[in-house]
C-alpha cells in the first residue's frame, strides 16, 4: 500500500474486536483512544510497559496476554495494530490481516500495512485527523497548527445553528496570554462584548476583531454606585441586549476576583452564566520563577491570603496568629503596600526572621522581576527595589529554592 493514497475514514469500533500486537510505547499511546471509543481490545505482547499493564487491569474492554503472537490471533478482528519492536513479527501480523481482509497498521513500516494512523485530536465534539504520506512529523505539525487555529478562533468550529449567548466568566491566567485555558480562549473568540480587568492579559484583547466591544472595567463611570455594582450592571445590560459577554479576569474568576458576585447578579437577572476557571497567579507565578508552593518532605500545606486589608482592621477575616504558627507556605496577593504590617505580625507570631521570601512582580510577563529576601528584611528590600503591584509574595522554606 502507498500511504500517499490513504483514504481517510472514521471507524466505529464500539463493541468490535481490535487486536494490538505489542505492549510498548506505541501501544501505550494508542490504547486509551481505542478504549475511549468502546473497542473490545485484545493486547498480545511478550512484555508490556507498566502503563499498558495498568490499563489492562483497571479499564474495562481490554485484555492483555503476555505471550508471542500466533497464527489465528486475528480471528474476528475488525482492526489490527502491529506495534512490536520485531519487524518479522509485525510482518507476520500484517500478512495474516491481509489474508483475513482486516485493516492493519504497521507501526514500524507504514507503507507495508493496509492502514495508516493519522495525527489526531478531539475538539469541541470534532475528531480531526491529518495524514501526510507517512511523514509523521509533518502531519503532527499540521495537526498542531489546526488545533491552535481553532483554539484562537482563527478557524470557527461551531455548527451553523450554534448560538453563543449569555455571559462567560473567564479566568485569563496570570498574565502570559498562552496560559489562558483552551475553553477560555475559544469563548473569547466568540465574544460580542469583553469586559476586562486591569490584570487580564492585554495581548488577548489585541487578538479580538474590530466588531468586538471592549470595555475596560477600571474605567466604567461609577457615579454614586459601587464599582462592582457598576460592572455587574454593564454585564447584565449587554447580555439583555442579546450580546454574548465575556467577563475576562486575571487569574481565576473565583480567587479574590469577585466573580461569584457577578455570577449572582447574572443569575438574579435570569441570564445564563458559564464559568471558566483560570490558572491562578498564586501558584503559577512562583512555579515559573522556580519555586513550588509545596515540596515533599518540606511542606504539606500552603495558604493564599489577600493583603487588601491590614491585620487588625475591623474587616479582616484572616487569623494571622494561625498563619504565623503554621510551617507551610504563605502566598500573599495584593500585599506590597502593607508588607511592613504583614511581616511584623508574622514575626510577632513566631515566624523566624530568616524565613525565605520570594517576591515576583509582573509574573509570567516580559516585565517580570524577582526579589529574594527574608521575612526580617523583606519590607526594606521591597521598598529599596521599588517593587510595585501587581506582585506575588511567597513566604516559607520553598521560597529559598532556585536562588
User: What is the grid cell recorded at 112?
Assistant: 507495508
Query: Could you tell me which residues are beta bridge partners of residue 249?
Result: 171
Query: Could you tell me which residues are beta bridge partners of residue 128?
Result: 121
Per residue, the 3-state secondary structure of the chain, as one string, reads CCHHHCCCCCCCCCCCEEEEEEECHHHHHHHHHHHHCCCEEEEEEEEECHHHHHHHHHCCCEEEEECCCCCCCCCCCCEEEECCCCHHHHHHHHHHHHHCCCEEEECCCHHHCCECCCEEEEECCEEEEECCCCCHHHHHHHHHHHHHHHHCCCCCCCCCCCCCCCEEEEECECCCHHHCCHHHHHHHHCCCEEEECCCCCHHHHHCCCCCCEEEEHHHCCCCCCCHHHHHHHHHHHHHHCCCCEEEEECECCCCCCCHHHHHHHHHHCCCCEEEECCCCHHHHHHHHCCCCCCECCCECCEEEEECCCCCCCCCCCCCHHHHHHCCCEEEEECCHHHHHHHHHHHHHCCCCCCCEEEEEECCCCCCCEEEEEECCCHHHHHHHCCCCCCEEEEECHHHHCCC
- How far apart CA 197 and CA 253 sit, in angstroms, is 11
**Residues with catalytic roles:** 197, 219
- How far apart CA 255 and CA 58 sit, in angstroms, is 36
- How far apart CA 263 and CA 164 sit, in angstroms, is 17
Amino acid at each position: 500500500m502507498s500511504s500517499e493514497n490513504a483514504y481517510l475514514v472514521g471507524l466505529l469500533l464500539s463493541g468490535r474486536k481490535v487486536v494490538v500486537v505489542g505492549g510498548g510505547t506505541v501501544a501505550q499511546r494508542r490504547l486509551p483512544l481505542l478504549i475511549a471509543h468502546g473497542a473490545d481490545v485484545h493486547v498480545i505482547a511478550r512484555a508490556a510497559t507498566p502503563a499498558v499493564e495498568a490499563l489492562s487491569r483497571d479499564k474495562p474492554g481490554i485484555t492483555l496476554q503476555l505471550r508471542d503472537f500466533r497464527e489465528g490471533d486475528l480471528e474476528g478482528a475488525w482492526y489490527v495494530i502491529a506495534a512490536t519492536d520485531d519487524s518479522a513479527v509485525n510482518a507476520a501480523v500484517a500478512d495474516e490481516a491481509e489474508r483475513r481482509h482486516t485493516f492493519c497498521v504497521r507501526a514500524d513500516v507504514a507503507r507495508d500495512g493496509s492502514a495508516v494512523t493519522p495525527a489526531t485530536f478531539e475538539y469541541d465534539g470534532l475528531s480531526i485527523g491529518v495524514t501526510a504520506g507517512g511523514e509523521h512529523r509533518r502531519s503532527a505539525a499540521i495537526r498542531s497548527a489546526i488545533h491552535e487555529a481553532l483554539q484562537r478562533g482563527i478557524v470557527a468550529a461551531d455548527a451553523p445553528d450554534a448560538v453563543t449567548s449569555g455571559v462567560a466568566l473567564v479566568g485569563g491566567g496570570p498574565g502570559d496570554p498562552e496560559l489562558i485555558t483552551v475553553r477560555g480562549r475559544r469563548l473569547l473568540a466568540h465574544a460580542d462584548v469583553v469586559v476586562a480587568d486591569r490584570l487580564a492579559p492585554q495581548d488577548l484583547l489585541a487578538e479580538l476583531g474590530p466588531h468586538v466591544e471592549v470595555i475596560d472595567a477600571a474605567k466604567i463611570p461609577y457615579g454614586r454606585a459601587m464599582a462592582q455594582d457598576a460592572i455587574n450592571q454593564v454585564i447584565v445590560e449587554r447580555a439583555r441586549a442579546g450580546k454574548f459577554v465575556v467577563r475576562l479576569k486575571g487569574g481565576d474568576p473565583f480567587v479574590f476576583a469577585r466573580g461569584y458576585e457577578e455570577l449572582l447578579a447574572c443569575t438574579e437577572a435570569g441570564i445564563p452564566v458559564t464559568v471558566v476557571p483560570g490558572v491562578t497567579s498564586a501558584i503559577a507565578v512562583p512555579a515559573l520563577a522556580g519555586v513550588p508552593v509545596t515540596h515533599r518532605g518540606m511542606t504539606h500545606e500552603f495558604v493564599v491570603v489577600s493583603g487588601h486589608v491590614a491585620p487588625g482592621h475591623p474587616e479582616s477575616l484572616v487569623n494571622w496568629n494561625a498563619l504565623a504558627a503554621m510551617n507551610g507556605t504563605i502566598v500573599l496577593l495584593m500585599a506590597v503596600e502593607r508588607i511592613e504590617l504583614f511581616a511584623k505580625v508574622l514575626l510577632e507570631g513566631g515566624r523566624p526572621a530568616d524565613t525565605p521570601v520570594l517576591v515576583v512582580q509582573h509574573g509570567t510577563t516580559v516585565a517580570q522581576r524577582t526579589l529574594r529576601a527574608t521575612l526580617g528584611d523583606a519590607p526594606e528590600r521591597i521598598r529599596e527595589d521599588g517593587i510595585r503591584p501587581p506582585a506575588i509574595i511567597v513566604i516559607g522554606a520553598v521560597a529559598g529554592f532556585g536562588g
